[in-house]
A and B are shown apart, each in its own frame.
Chain A
Amino acid sequence: MEELIQELKERIIDALNLEEMTPDDIDAQAPLFGEGLGLDSIDALELIVLLEKNYGIRLANPAEGKAIFASVETIARYVSEHRTK
């Protein structure tokens, strides 16, 4: 899981173009949206693309993403359970 968390952090930084951030700057348990990192709805769409492209996971409904994208850790848990690649 630690490895996946690290990989996700790197992919998130790349996909969202979080310049000047390193994986260590992202707390795996901290909220990604709202008060935490301050991401918004477009970032959520980028995360949906990221999951489909890298892990073969298709989220048909953006509303589903809310719980999954709560933190890097929740994403990692969802990916490990649902990945098809």
Chain B
Amino acid sequence: MSANVVITGQGIVSAIGIGAEAVLDALRHGRTGIGPMRYLGSSHHELPVGEVDLSNEQMKAMLGIESSREVSRTSLMGMLALRQAVDEARIAHLKHSRPATRVVLVSGTTVGGMDITERHFGELLDGDYTHLDSLRQHDCGSSTELMAAHIGLFDEATTISTACSSAANAIILGARLLEAGQADVVVAGGTEALSLFHLNGFNSLQILDTQRCRPFDDSRAGLNLGEGAAFVVMEREGDAATRQAHVLGYLTGYGNACDAFHQTASSPDGEGAYRAMTQALEMAGLQPRDIHYVNAHGTATPNNDLSESAALLRVFGNDLPPVSSTKCYTGHTTSASGSIEAVICLLAMRHGFVPANLGWATAMPGGITPSLGIEHHVIDHVMCNSFGFGGNDSSLVFSRQATNAADAALADVDVKVLAEVDIADDEQLVDIRNYVKPLEARRMGKIMKSSLLASLKALQQAGIETPDAIVTATAWGCLEYSERLLEQLRDEGEVLLKPTYFMQSTHNTISSNIAMRLKCHGYNVTYSHGAQSLQWAMRDAEMLLRSGRCKTVLVGLHDEMTPTLRQLLQHLGIEVAPSSFHSKAIVLSC
């Protein structure tokens, strides 16, 4: 089976336009979409944002959804982008013409339906259950399922939640499913709406600039949050050729590594980023000098841009191609940024230009000098970087033509369970003291402790110090801390939220906490797709083992339940496990 993966469709919804044409026009004319807030009802008017210039009502009208129906903005934007991608690739009728075609949706998100939850959480706490149904859209997986149902084309759907690299990891999973022959068409990307929850959360981390962001500039003072969605249609080259699909580009390489350094900061030498970029180049069979443009993660926080510069200089040395961050156009679209920037890379490659790194004027010590835009620039290979909290770093390489990609067929080997450990009550949790000092555990919520303890015990039983990869499943993430933040928003308004709680509200915190403890720089992802989360994590682990990329994988299922949410879900008739938390760690090998 040919492992060459091609892109045959793209959809994008962003602050600089709806659709690839509009985005291309804005990029070529240096037009930013960052400005005063219009749709998010926040009191922080001092913070510029990159909002999609459509109200929820307008999006519903475009999608043919009844205006009275409440749908999360995350799902609405995702549906718009999916529709564009599916239409461009002309795959809507594929299922009828080729009945055996397996079409999979892989979406990345962290916010999910938080925009709806935060709207109604106060009234729900007060016992007013008028909008109880809104909770059905809270978790990440349900936002993906809602999009899949609207498009009505998918045999399977899943959700990846690795904070700001979610969409890049969705694209990587898409390629792996195609290479492994587990899917015939994958539509992959991400979607993320702005919410009061994460705007105030980022604000409490003091990394939001009150002016337009200036990536890689000496005066940079933080990021501007943005929102949006983007998806790409991916197929094997042979299949695309058979149905004479128009090819927008090849995904020739990808890398996923964990910085394993800190929950909210990148390491000074950018180890995770370096590994992700190096892996992507290696897989594509390319040398650094072959890359003609790098779309940097470039958030404009003091930490990211310095760390990414260090990593870029380590990888490219004297062969550094033009680099720019396009977050100065779209804002930082967090979980969607990986696919939004992938689409931007495809546009840059096909139309032969480098988008300008707006707002840059002064070099920073130790920093790269970004491109201020090149109108005519032949790009054969482009690299797209996406780094997330917890050090979930990913890098993609797109090319105009196939490169010498390695054969990625899966070997027929037996996958063995070396150890399995469950932690589900407070008594067992006391054991954490034997592994972690109280000072080190000061910020860990219950689920962080149980996941770490179960993982350390399982690895100990398996006789493995550091696994090659960590694949985590969680339907709800760190629910306890998220709920406390929602309560704080209700009780105190938009004040500085407790940073400790916010940094643990991203689902991938669990997996990266384990990676940090184990100094595990290997592949690291988190699935958040409801009751199917573990199933997907196991499937991923098995693909890693059977592809020969890994010898050992630590898989985990970690979830917790709060008394408040338990009560609300029971009113909804949703069954909830009896324990307040449950961690399952499994060590797999082949």
A7 at the interface (CB under 8 A from B): no
Minimum CB distance partner of A17 in chain B: B442
Contact B500 A17 (CB under 8 A): yes
Contact A42 B496 (CB under 8 A): no
Minimum CB distance partner of A45 in chain B: B499
Contact A52 B496 (CB under 8 A): yes
Residue-wise interface mask of B (260-274) relative to A, using a CB-CB cutoff of 8 A (1 in contact, 0 not): 001111000000000
Minimum CB distance partner of B206 in chain A: A62
Please report the total number of B residues contacting A with Cβ < 8 Å. Answer: 18
Contact A16 B498 (CB under 8 A): no
Q: Complex formed: what's the CA distance from A49 to B485 in Å?
A: 14
A18 at the interface (CB under 8 A from B): yes
How close is B203's CB to chain A, nearest CB, in angstroms? 11
Inter-chain contacts of B495 with A (CB < 8 A): 52-53
Chain B residues 423-459 with CB under 8 Å of chain A are 438-439, 441-443
How close is A4's CB to chain B, nearest CB, in angstroms? 22
Interface centre among B262, B265, B496, by most A CB within 10 Å? B496
Inter-chain contacts of A40 with B (CB < 8 A): 262
Contact A17 B443 (CB under 8 A): yes
**Cross-chain contact of B496 among A19, A20, A48, A61 (Cβ < 8 A):** A48
Contact B439 A38 (CB under 8 A): yes
Q: Complex formed: what's the CA distance from A79 to B498 in Å?
A: 20
Inter-chain contacts of B196 with A (CB < 8 A): none
B568 at the interface (CB under 8 A from A): no
Inter-chain contacts of B503 with A (CB < 8 A): 42
Inter-chain contacts of A42 with B (CB < 8 A): 263-264, 443, 499-500, 503
Inter-chain contacts of B442 with A (CB < 8 A): 16-19
Inter-chain contacts of B439 with A (CB < 8 A): 18, 38
Contact A45 B206 (CB under 8 A): yes
A22 at the interface (CB under 8 A from B): no
Contact A46 B499 (CB under 8 A): yes
Q: Complex formed: what's the CA distance from A41 to B499 in Å?
A: 10
Task: Evaluate whether A45 and B205 lie within 8 angstroms (CB atoms) in the complex, with A17-B443, A17-B500, A52-B496 already known.
Answer: yes
Q: Complex formed: what's the CA distance from A61 to B438 in Å?
A: 30
Please report the total number of A residues contacting B with Cβ < 8 Å. Answer: 17
Minimum CB distance partner of A18 in chain B: B442
Inter-chain contacts of B443 with A (CB < 8 A): 17, 42
Q: Complex formed: what's the CA distance from A35 to B197 in Å?
A: 34
Inter-chain contacts of A61 with B (CB < 8 A): 206
Task: Evaluate whether A48 and B438 lie within 8 angstroms (CB atoms) in the complex, with A17-B443, A42-B503 already known.
Answer: no
Contact A19 B498 (CB under 8 A): no
B204 at the interface (CB under 8 A from A): yes
Contact A19 B438 (CB under 8 A): yes
Inter-chain contacts of B205 with A (CB < 8 A): 45
Chain A residues 42-85 with CB under 8 Å of chain B are 42, 45-46, 48-49, 52-53, 61-62
Inter-chain contacts of B500 with A (CB < 8 A): 17, 42, 46
Q: Complex formed: what's the CA distance from A16 to B263 in Å?
A: 16
Minimum CB distance partner of B440 in chain A: A38
Residue-wise interface mask of A (3-47) relative to B, using a CB-CB cutoff of 8 A (1 in contact, 0 not): 000000000000011111000000000000000001011100110
Q: Complex formed: what's the CA distance from A18 to B442 in Å?
A: 6
**Cross-chain contact of B204 among A18, A38, A49 (Cβ < 8 A):** A49
Contact A41 B265 (CB under 8 A): yes
Inter-chain contacts of A52 with B (CB < 8 A): 495-496
Q: Complex formed: what's the CA distance from A32 to B435 in Å?
A: 24
Q: Complex formed: what's the CA distance from A17 to B264 in Å?
A: 18
Minimum CB distance partner of A42 in chain B: B499
Inter-chain contacts of A19 with B (CB < 8 A): 438, 441-442
Residue-wise interface mask of B (478-499) relative to A, using a CB-CB cutoff of 8 A (1 in contact, 0 not): 0000000000000000011011
Chain B residues 261-303 with CB under 8 Å of chain A are 262-265
How close is A10's CB to chain B, nearest CB, in angstroms? 16
Q: Complex formed: what's the CA distance from A53 to B142 in Å?
A: 36
Contact B264 A49 (CB under 8 A): no
Minimum CB distance partner of B444 in chain A: A17
Inter-chain contacts of B206 with A (CB < 8 A): 45, 48, 61-62
How close is B303's CB to chain A, nearest CB, in angstroms? 9
Given contacts A45-B499, A52-B496, 9 further A-B contacts (CB under 8 A): A16-B442, A17-B443, A18-B439, A19-B438, A20-B438, A41-B262, A48-B206, A49-B496, A49-B498
Q: 28 A-B residue contacts at CB 8 Å?
A: A16-B442, A17-B442, A17-B500, A18-B438, A18-B439, A18-B442, A19-B438, A19-B441, A19-B442, A38-B439, A40-B262, A42-B263, A42-B264, A42-B499, A42-B503, A45-B204, A45-B206, A45-B499, A48-B206, A48-B496, A49-B204, A49-B496, A49-B498, A49-B499, A52-B495, A52-B496, A53-B495, A53-B496
Which 8 pairs show the lowest CB-CB distances between chains A and B?
A: A45-B499, A19-B438, A17-B442, A49-B496, A62-B206, A20-B438, A42-B499, A46-B499
